[in-house]
A and B are shown apart, each in its own frame.
Chain A
């Protein structure tokens, strides 16, 4: 690509339905897949797509993210030219510019974008799990001579009403946006991944900022306005695994997808590595009493119990006679002897006591917080 592409990664989301997992960290910083954080996926996609100027927009609980991304070294984004720039809200003479919506987050950083002198701007979300070549997306955008390209994904028809649906003509020109339609006319869902011609983006952001009733959101305001103005808008059909993890259940599902080859997300892929900050830990050990089946286990773990169909993060101890099945166990957790866990997500650094059992097995997935464990201790069932 001779023309300059800049990626703007929206990473300010709270993700309140993920409960205590996001009390202290933003949603893109949530641990996933045994060693990653969700934001590793869009960041690695940028690196693998040859995009080396990336702005990361943070707002909610930004510290963990800022510290995690640092200079961008794990993603090869510590560059003299470009590289990664963290963009939290900041104060100006007129006051503090909080990010009211996705579009306002980009608008508040229009000076940053101007200084990058981009030809195209790719807008990304920091909380989606997928592998995508953005270079192909930008090539498609150029071929179609579009003003904006929206990446879309075919979703099952019965689920289409949960998504922002994009209706197109046979040439993939967008004719209508249909936000969570009751009766969807198409099953192409917007992934929240857009490519804009920089000049068009700049103009529409300026205009949108002056509209008082606007919610300053790409999906709700900017894109519909551009469609009304008959700008050239096309849909890019993405094929592959894509997941927006909004809830404890969907975070669990996304982890379980890694254990199911038919789900389509392969991490063992030297051609498209997902980069991450690597803690320096010794290899994992499966001891004489340990048994691991259908699972993924990261470095630093010592497994002396039974692990079945689970994703185990770094530095987890599973003691003798403990059983972990259909679960996600985050880093630094210790699972005591004889404990039995099934269909849970264990947050980082939790100590599960010996012989622990869930009091009332829930229908969905249980987030095994320290509070739950404390109430089990108080119930005297140990």
Chain B
């Protein structure tokens, strides 16, 4: 029994709007150096799945830039490998995972495959789902569709046979079901539904609050130990950044730091992405700073999410709360006048 995979990168998540103006949910930066889709893709390739279709809808420029030909995931193959499968619908993407309309547009991907079973997965869950184990469980259970469920809910990953997948794509209009997720939630007859119990760490990123909470949750060593397994690496696009520099007078504690940054100020309880500059006497507490941001000297930030390329001029003070972090959109420039 062998697996192919359909990754839903077109799903719309209403609660993440501030971070998805220029990108899909799947390419939201997470954990300092990753994009959300890295976790889904890495889980798949770590289970030796070599035929992976990414179903995307606009805007997917950032996603294409990130994925390329799939080299970072070893998916640049002669035979099979990575398939980028965008929808032609103007308003592609629905609110549940595994849209049959998207799959229907690329029916050939499923028809031409050699594999017997299909993984359908979301692209906004970070975890370490073992698809080999899940497939074994699925086969042993004899159910038609198996859903991965963890302690705090569904991972929105499903396994079903390719034959059933084709049947569903051909009959979804008449059955009036939009997606795999809807089908499983409604438990439509005549199919049988099983659950694969997932015991590891996972984070569902479906709102800004969740994004904030789960990001800072990685400062807990136990979570990191469960997410970053040496035997199952999380792969991402490589950037050739030099190691991060901590200058004299800087003070960093309880923080996760990606490469290529230059730290002169104070950082605690925060996640700092690649190539960030934090100026002298700036203080950051409980912040998520994405790549290429600049925080100038004497800034005071707490509970702030700064998207890529945000520039915060000197002396700016921004204080959010854990429930309502301040979100700065991609490329925004904040001056002292703005923040008063």
A contacts, CB < 8 Å to B: 33-35, 73-74, 267-268, 273-276, 278, 280-299, 311-312
The distance in angstroms between the C-alpha atoms of A34 and B246, with both chains bound, is 13
Q: Which of A33, A283, A296, A311 lies in contact with B33, CB distance below 8 A?
A: A283
Chain A facing B: main interface SS: loop
Residues of A near B224 (CB, < 8 A) are 282, 285
Q: Which of B234, B247, B257 lies in contact with A284, CB distance below 8 A?
A: B257
Q: A283-B32, A286-B255, A299-B258 are in contact. List 4 more A-B contacts (CB 8 A).
A: A35-B242, A74-B240, A282-B228, A284-B244
| CB nearest to A290 among chain B residues | B253
Residues of B near A285 (CB, < 8 A) are 219, 224, 255-257
Most central of B238, B246, B255 by chain A CB within 10 Å? B246
Answer yes or no: B259 CB below 8 A from chain A CBs: yes
Q: Which of B32, B233, B242 lies in contact with A268, CB distance below 8 A?
A: B242
B contacts, CB < 8 Å to A: 31-33, 71-72, 219, 221, 224, 227-228, 233-236, 238-240, 242-260, 262, 271
Residues of A near B256 (CB, < 8 A) are 282-285
Most central of A73, A282, A287 by chain B CB within 10 Å? A282
B234 touches A268 (CB 8 A): no
The distance in angstroms between the C-alpha atoms of A281 and B203, with both chains bound, is 19
The distance in angstroms between the C-alpha atoms of A74 and B242, with both chains bound, is 14
18 CB < 8 A contacts A-B? A35-B243, A74-B238, A267-B242, A268-B242, A274-B242, A276-B240, A278-B238, A280-B234, A280-B235, A282-B32, A283-B31, A283-B32, A284-B259, A285-B224, A286-B252, A287-B221, A298-B243, A299-B33
Q: Which of B234, B247, B254 lies in contact with A294, CB distance below 8 A?
A: B247
A287 touches B243 (CB 8 A): no
Residues of B near A275 (CB, < 8 A) are 240
Task: List the 10 closest pairs (A to B, CB-CB), nearest first.
Answer: A34-B243, A267-B242, A283-B32, A278-B238, A298-B243, A292-B246, A296-B243, A282-B228, A283-B258, A294-B248
The distance in angstroms between the C-alpha atoms of A278 and B260, with both chains bound, is 13
A273 touches B240 (CB 8 A): yes
Q: Which of A280, A287, A296 lies in contact with B244, CB distance below 8 A?
A: A296
B257 touches A283 (CB 8 A): yes
Residues of B near A287 (CB, < 8 A) are 221, 253-254
A312 touches B243 (CB 8 A): yes
B259 touches A298 (CB 8 A): yes
Would A297 and B240 be within 8 Å (CB), given that A280-B235, A282-B228, A290-B253 are in contact?
Answer: no
Residues of A near B32 (CB, < 8 A) are 282-283
Residues of A near B250 (CB, < 8 A) are 292-293
| CB nearest to A34 among chain B residues | B243
Would A296 and B254 be within 8 Å (CB), given that A282-B228, A285-B224 are in contact?
Answer: no
| CB nearest to B71 among chain A residues | A73
| CB nearest to B267 among chain A residues | A286
The distance in angstroms between the C-alpha atoms of A288 and B267, with both chains bound, is 11
Residues of B near A281 (CB, < 8 A) are 233
Residues of A near B242 (CB, < 8 A) are 33-35, 267-268, 274, 296
The distance in angstroms between the C-alpha atoms of A273 and B244, with both chains bound, is 15
| CB nearest to B259 among chain A residues | A299
| CB nearest to B238 among chain A residues | A278
Residues of B near A311 (CB, < 8 A) are 243
The distance in angstroms between the C-alpha atoms of A281 and B243, with both chains bound, is 12
**Closest Cβ–Cβ distance, residue B40 to chain A (whole Å):** 15
A274 touches B240 (CB 8 A): yes
The distance in angstroms between the C-alpha atoms of A284 and B260, with both chains bound, is 11
| CB nearest to B272 among chain A residues | A283
Residues of B near A278 (CB, < 8 A) are 238-240
Residues of A near B234 (CB, < 8 A) are 280, 282
| CB nearest to B269 among chain A residues | A288
Residues of B near A280 (CB, < 8 A) are 72, 233-236, 238
The distance in angstroms between the C-alpha atoms of A86 and B228, with both chains bound, is 35
Would A293 and B243 be within 8 Å (CB), given that A268-B262, A283-B33 are in contact?
Answer: no
Residues of A near B228 (CB, < 8 A) are 282
Residues of A near B244 (CB, < 8 A) are 284, 296-298
Residues of B near A284 (CB, < 8 A) are 244, 256-259
Q: Which of B240, B243, B255, B259 lies in contact with A33, CB distance below 8 A?
A: B243
| CB nearest to A35 among chain B residues | B243
**Closest Cβ–Cβ distance, residue B116 to chain A (whole Å):** 30
Most central of B33, B247, B259 by chain A CB within 10 Å? B259
Most central of B72, B249, B253, B258 by chain A CB within 10 Å? B253
Would A288 and B238 be within 8 Å (CB), given that A293-B246, A296-B244, A298-B259 are in contact?
Answer: no
Residues of B near A298 (CB, < 8 A) are 243-244, 259
**Closest Cβ–Cβ distance, residue B280 to chain A (whole Å):** 14
The distance in angstroms between the C-alpha atoms of A72 and B242, with both chains bound, is 19
| CB nearest to B245 among chain A residues | A296
B31 touches A282 (CB 8 A): yes
The distance in angstroms between the C-alpha atoms of A338 and B238, with both chains bound, is 35
**Closest Cβ–Cβ distance, residue A291 to chain B (whole Å):** 7
A268 touches B245 (CB 8 A): yes
Residues of B near A274 (CB, < 8 A) are 240, 242
The distance in angstroms between the C-alpha atoms of A282 and B32, with both chains bound, is 8
| CB nearest to A298 among chain B residues | B243
**Closest Cβ–Cβ distance, residue A132 to chain B (whole Å):** 18
Residues of A near B31 (CB, < 8 A) are 282-283
Most central of B31, B227, B244, B249 by chain A CB within 10 Å? B244
B253 touches A297 (CB 8 A): no
**Closest Cβ–Cβ distance, residue A165 to chain B (whole Å):** 33
| CB nearest to A273 among chain B residues | B240
